[in-house]
Structure 1
Amino acid sequence: MINRYLTDLASLFFPETCAGCDTPLVYGEKLICTSCWYHLPFTFAHDQMATSGTGQTASFLHFVGSSRVQRIIHQLKYRNRPEIGTLLGEKYGAVLLETTPFAEAEVIVPVPLHPKKLRKRGYNQSAYFAQGLSRSMQKPTAECLTRHRATQSQTTKTRYERYKNMEAAFRLNDAAVIAGKHVLLVDDVLTTGATLEACAEALLAGGALNVNCVTIAKAL
């Protein structure tokens, strides 16, 4: 009772706001308010990737512009709130545990940032998402990929240009942790799949048994 009183008092003067709608959170809510959770556009689907190298991919949410999901992703990536990624991973991990082939994963690998971008941001949002998945799925994480070549912005590129842009951008620095294993590759937002395919190619070349992919959101 005392702890709740102190929490309520602190929230009165320093209210924590929802990452989706910026309204103050009430007691018991964490990072995202109940209303936003209710209205989030969950995919409820697991889609086959167009390219065979990446196996299957699943996305937690649909990503559309000027939406709750866009605001949540923006808070996660650019407002120093990496804990949002962990929370989303915990929620989605519980779903994936009931879903083949994702439940068969033996190790979870986040898509890496280029070192320059990592220094600027201070954290890799995909690694925090991976941590959340790890907690729910009880699978280890391995940050065994490095992005050794900085890539140009993908925003205005065609599908083919995106694939060429990501070609040979990733390198596996510890093959032992993925050799002969079912790998779950994770990222924040799925657009064309070029980044996931480039990472999957590096993992498969290093001896991974197979690579399935999971993202927080999928662009429509």
Structure 2
Amino acid sequence: MNIFNNLVKGVCPLCRESATLGQFCYACKEDILASIHYHSPRCSYCQLPLNDKGLCDNCHYYHLSLTVYSAFDYAPPLDSLVLRFKNNGQTHLSTCFAQLIFEQLIKKNHLPDKRTVLIPIPSKKNSLKKRAYNPASLFAKSLAKKLQCQLDLSTLRCRQQANADQKTLSRLDRFVSSRDQYYCSRRVNYTDVILIDDILTTGSTLESASRALLAAGAQNVQAIVIARTITT
């Protein structure tokens, strides 16, 4: 009996069949990687499914220029995995999501340079108190390890003013609410930054964080999320 093989065996978080520890099984992984192409074409920046090639109304109207990569669409059954990761303490899923993004970037020939700095979207204090962890930070740590990139967990900060719950706001109100939500604690000399978050809806959070980093000296900012909603 090969003891090492037993140590690296795990269970696929989606179908519960045997899989390499910290990964989806081969069948589920291939289905997930292909699922991002089911809705095509997509917005050139935020990956929202569209009827025609180009930019979605959101990115066009607000002049957004932040390119976002996602592992999959936030839709059943995969949305339940994200919720388990965010709200049920199943933090081990960060490794599974990082592996998906890693393979997605390989397929697209978009692996970042190892000098690229990964920066997670910081949690608000009430969210951090409720969960006891920041999902974006855990995902960023797993992804930085997989990509062998640098990680910055302290520069990007979140203003703690009492904004309305983003889930209750319209698209326009989300952008207004998030406009000055993030700031940097210091100047940076990063050439390439990748913002990390769990779910992308309108892109207002990522856009606000991107503006803060560019104002602090970052030259180029992109983003990676676990999942992208298929509506805004």
TM score, norm. by length of structure 2: 0.76
Contact preservation (8 Å) 1:93, 1:137: yes
Return the alpha-carbon distance in structure 1 between the equivalents of residues 80 and 5 of structure 2.
Answer: 30
d(CA) in 2 for partners of 1:147, 1:56: 22
The RMSD of aligned alpha carbons is: 3.0
8 Å CA contact retained: 2:24, 2:96: no
Cα 1:97–1:4 shift into 2, 3 Å: closer
Secondary structure of 1:61's aligned partner = strand
C-alpha distance 99-112 of structure 1, shift in aligned 2 (>3 A): same
Match of 2:104 among 83, 95, 100: 95
Residue 100 of structure 1 deviates from its aligned partner by: 6.5
Offset at 1:164? 1.4
> How far did 1:125 drift?
1.0
Q: Quick one: which of 167, 171, 194 aligns to 1:159?
A: 171
Q: Runs (4+) of structure 1 moved beyond 4 Å?
A: 4-7, 51-54, 97-102
Contact 1:102 1:212 survives alignment (8 Å): no
Partner residue in 2 for 1:47: 44
Aligned: 1:20 with 2:20:
no
Which stretch of the first structure deviates more once superposed, 84-93 or 44-53?
A: 44-53
Q: Is the 8 A contact 1:114 1:146 kept in 2?
A: no
Paired amino acid for 2:227: A
TM-score (norm 1): 0.79
Deviations 1:110-145, CA, capped at 9 Å, x for gaps: 111012211221111111221222123211111121
Cα distance in structure 2, aligned partners of 1:218 and 1:204: 23
Matched, 1:71 2:80: yes
Aligned equivalent of 2:67, options 52, 56, 61: 56
Structure 2 unaligned regions, length at least 5: 47-58
Count of matched residue positions in the alignment of Structure 1 and Structure 2: 208
The amino acid across from 1:188 in the alignment is D
User: Aligned partner of 1:109: which letter?
Assistant: I
CA–CA separation in structure 2 for the residues paired with 1:165 and 1:174:
23
Give yes or no for contact 2:121–2:136 (8 Å, CA) kept in 1.
yes
Q: CA deviation at 1:171?
A: 1.9
Report the Cα offset of residue 203 of structure 1: 0.6
Q: Is the 8 A contact 2:157 2:182 kept in 1?
A: yes
Is the 2:120–2:196 Cα contact (8 Å) retained in structure 1?
Answer: yes
In structure 2, do the counterparts of structure 1 residues 46 and 32 end up closer, same or farther at CA, with 3 Å as the change threshold? farther
Cα deviation, residue 160, structure 1 = 0.2
Give the aligned partner of residue 55 of structure 2: none
Q: Which residue among 211, 219, 231 is the counterpart of 1:201?
A: 211
Task: Find the residue that maps to 1:47 and give its secondary structure.
Answer: coil
Structure 2 CA distance for partners of 1:187 and 1:68, relative to 1, 3 Å: same
Residue 116 (str. 1) matches residue 126 (str. 2): yes
